[in-house]
Amino acid sequence: MAIRLDYEGGKSCVDKMAKSIEELSETAQTIDATMMTKLGEFCEGGYYDKILETYQAEYQKFLKQDVPQMVTKLNDYMSNCMETLKKVDEELAGR
């Protein structure tokens, strides 16, 4: 049982983490789009083929599937944190 809660401070902290989570998702999308569309503008041939092959084999799934799944889980967690903050705040306020 909590004995003290700074709701606004906790909410601010959760909001900041939620914003960072969203930025993580956007960053993963940007990295993938850049690799798939822009890198070929600067190199070609066997070197480019190897870079693209390695990226697709080792990193693309991480950025396109694993990161979005993790972002969803983190967003769910942040929502649960906010619900818990509200509940505890109400309990401490005697509501």
Task: Please give the structure tokens belonging to residue 57.
Answer: 């084999």
Q: What is the domain count for the chain? A: 1
pTM > 0.85? no
Q: What is the domain extent for residue 48?
A: 7-93
Structure tokens at 25: 């998702």
Q: Is residue 2 part of a domain?
A: no
Q: What is the pLDDT averaged over residues 59-86?
A: 93
Predicted local distance difference test score (pLDDT) of residue 12: 92
3-class secondary structure, 1:
coil
Output Rg (C-alpha) for the chain, integer angstroms.
21
Tokens 């972002």 found at: 71
Instruction: Answer yes or no: is 1 within a domain.
Output: no
Q: Which residue has the higher pLDDT, 7 or 32?
A: 32
User: What integer pLDDT is reported at residue 7 of this predicted model?
Assistant: 86
- Is 83 part of a structural domain of the chain? yes
Residue 16 located in a structural domain? yes
Whether residue 89 is contained in a domain is answered as yes
Structure tokens, 6: 């700074």
Confidence of residue 2 (pLDDT cuts 50, 70, 90): low
Backbone φ/ψ region at 43: left (φ over 0), alpha (ψ -120 to 50), beta = beta
Q: What is the pLDDT of residue 19?
A: 93
Q: Is 61 contained in some domain?
A: yes
pLDDT, residue 4, reads: 76
**Is residue 24 in a domain?**
yes
* Residue 35, in any domain of the structure: yes
Which pLDDT band holds residue 1 (cuts at 50, 70, 90)?
Answer: low
What pLDDT band is residue 61 in, cutting at 50, 70 and 90?
very high
DSSP-derived secondary structure letter, 47: H
pLDDT at 55 over 90: yes
